Amino acid sequence: GQNIDQPTEMTATEGAIVQINCTYQTSGFNGLFWYQQHAGEAPTFLSYNVLDGLEEKGRFSSFLSRSKGYSYLLLKELQMKDSASYLCAVNGYGQNFVFGPGTRLSVLP
Amino acid sequence: GAVVSQHPSWVICKSGTSVKIECRSLDFQATTMFWYRQFPKQSLMLMATSNEGSKATYEQGVEKDKFLINHASLTLSTLTVTSAHPEDSSFYICSARVDRLSPLHFGNGTRLTVT
């Protein structure tokens, strides 16, 4: 079967750093992807990892360990506009995407 | 690059009528497009995979006669919600990718309200 797990909600303070974890068990693996989704809007692509290690894109970084079935998204210098849901997705067997339940992040002043 | 356009952004219709939603890949060709539905505070649910020139593949529990999908060209897929009912009210989002290993890119979504 396929299973992706993320924390349901997180809260952090403006200017801080937050790490959103994602664990997965999927049939096949062709990459792990992170998306941001603001309330009432469609998801937007943030970052992805195919190989183990850290990918950095400005204030956002994503890490992958394939052997552990684990990834995290790191958000630095948090801003109020970062309040959103963050979706972890795996491109798995048959190159089909499986999305996690999403983590709702609230950034407080 | 990899822009996906979806239209309309929102639509209100009466029970029993049909609604068509268009999804276009603007700067790339997409042999496959994906249609998702999302209810408030829930995650994305894949409804069907739209295949250019052939029949769509529907996920378990999605009625293919109710949600008609047509992928007539390499840049356009349409989803028609037939005989809509209030329980079909939801946020419908399409997505596409440049190739099978690339990220999915999403349209802006269509909020459907059936009265």
Q: Does B101 contact A31 at a Cβ distance shorter than 8 Å? A: yes
pLDDT of residue B1: 74
pLDDT tens string B4-27:
999 999 999 999 999 999 999 999
% of chain B at pLDDT higher than 70 = 100
In this prediction, the residues of chain B whose per-residue pLDDT falls under 50 are none
Question: Region A82-102: what's the mean pLDDT?
Answer: 91
pLDDT tens string A31-42:
999 999 999 999
Confidence of residue A26 (pLDDT cuts 50, 70, 90): confident
Residues of A with CB under 8 A from a CB of B: 30-31, 33, 35, 40-45, 48, 50, 87, 89, 91, 95-97, 99-102
pLDDT tens string A72-85:
999 999 999 999 99
Determine the residue among B9, B32, B104 to mutate to test chain A binding: the one whose Cβ has the most chain A Cβ atoms within 10 Å. B104
Question: Region A80-104: what's the mean pLDDT?
Answer: 92
Beta-carbon pairs below 8 A across chains A and B: 42
Is the model's pLDDT at A100 over the cut of 70? yes
Question: Region A59-65: what's the mean pLDDT?
Answer: 97
Structure tokens at B22: 């268009």
Give the chain A residue whose CA is nearest to the CA of B41: A39
% of chain A at pLDDT higher than 90 = 87
pLDDT of residue B2: 85
Nearest to B44 among A48, A91, A99 (CB): A99
Q: Does A100 contact B43 at a Cβ distance shorter than 8 Å? A: yes
Give the chain A residue whose CA is nearest to the CA of B39: A40
CB-count exposure of residue A94 (10 Å: 0-12, 13-18, 19+): exposed
pLDDT tens string A43-59:
999 999 999 999 998 99
Nearest to A95 among B43, B44, B101 (CB): B101
Is the model's pLDDT at A93 over the cut of 70? yes
pLDDT of residue A43: 96
Is the model's pLDDT at A1 over the cut of 70? no
CA distance B46 to chain A (A): 9
pLDDT of residue A106: 98
